[in-house]
Amino acid sequence: MTERTVFAGFGGQGIISLGQIWVYCGMKEGKEVSFFPFYGAEKRGGIARANCVVSDSGISSPIVTHADSAVVMNRDSLEECASILHDGGLLLVNSSLVPLSAIPAAVKARLRVIPVAATAIAEKLGNVRIANMVMLGALARQTGAVLLDRVESILEQFFPGNKRKYVDANVSAIRAGMEAFAG
């Protein structure tokens, strides 16, 4: 199994953190991983992308030019992510910010497009900033690349000292993302 994923959005949406946590979870599950972030010079609001690979075997390159899956957090990232997905690839779209009507029919016909109301789910959980973790849970459920069966203990290791206070909220968001597709 090898899952090549592109995460994309704008600065401030937690795209880089999303990629880091995705590969950290994969690594803690004993998989090979690579993480290659890309972001604009702006502190917030510029482009943010992360190329991530999770695999059962060696990884030849951290650059993802043909992706298996993509997580799109904003409308501006839609076209580029859709263009690098192979036919039948998985396109998870934050439908709270990207209406399904914004996705061209040709993209819907070529890819497996799944809307996830990540921002709305995060708002219901009390913190819009955890929308990225909702998407992580949804991606895990849809791809099976990362199981997340020990996500709480993994996040306790990921977050240093004073940031451990964010573990519970992040775990709740990940579980909400997974549960959005249960059954």
pLDDT in tens, 15-48: 999 999 999 999 999 999 999 998 876 666 688 9
Domain 2-179 grouped into CATH 3.40.920.10: yes
Q: Which residues on neighbouring strands pair with residue 69, listed in sequence order?
A: 5, 90
Cβ atoms within 10 Å, residue 24: 17
DSSP per-residue string spanning 143-163: H-S---TTHHHHHHHHS-GGG
pTM of the model: 0.93
> Could you report the per-residue pLDDT of 101-116, keeping only the tens digit for each?
999 999 999 999 999 9
